[in-house]
Amino acid sequence: MNPTEAPIELAVIEFPGSRFNGEIVPALAELVDAGTVAILDLVLVSKGANGAVAAIEVGELADEETAIFDQLDGEIHGLLSDEDIEMIGDALSLGSTAAVVVWENTWARRLVEAVAGAGGQVVAHDRLDAETVRSSLALLAG
């Protein structure tokens, strides 16, 4: 099976005031180590107070900055295009930094194989954010 046959997701995690300090890296590493996800790309995107957007791949960071990401086991490729970075930058608040992570949901590989083996195909797949689910459940509990 190709490593990209399971669902691929992109997460943009904004840190207002550019307060990214790497504290999310251990949580990402746990997901990778457990086989839940595989990191396909990881980019830091900053938007200055003047609106200028800059992106840097983890491999391009200085050695002391790269050390934050050492515990992430996985291949990090340049999957995101300049256009992707531009769109992400447009969505960021002034003076913020975002960790942009593309991962494969490796936990779903077996399900993907089973669906294909049964002659099926996924015709819809969406992700609901936690706030939407909480609101809906609160309405149901009423």
Length of the chain: 142
53-82 residue pLDDT tens: 999 887 787 777 777 787 776 666 778 899
Q: Convert 90-111 into a string of H (helix), E (strand) and C (coil).
A: HHCCCCEEEEEEEEECHHHHHH
Q: To the nearest whole percent, how much of the chain has pLDDT over 90? A: 50
Residue 138, pLDDT above cutoff 80: yes
Residue 108, pLDDT above cutoff 50: yes
Q: What pLDDT score was predicted for residue 15? A: 93
138 vs 124: CA distance, rounded Å: 26
Mean pLDDT of the chain: 87
pTM of this structure: 0.81
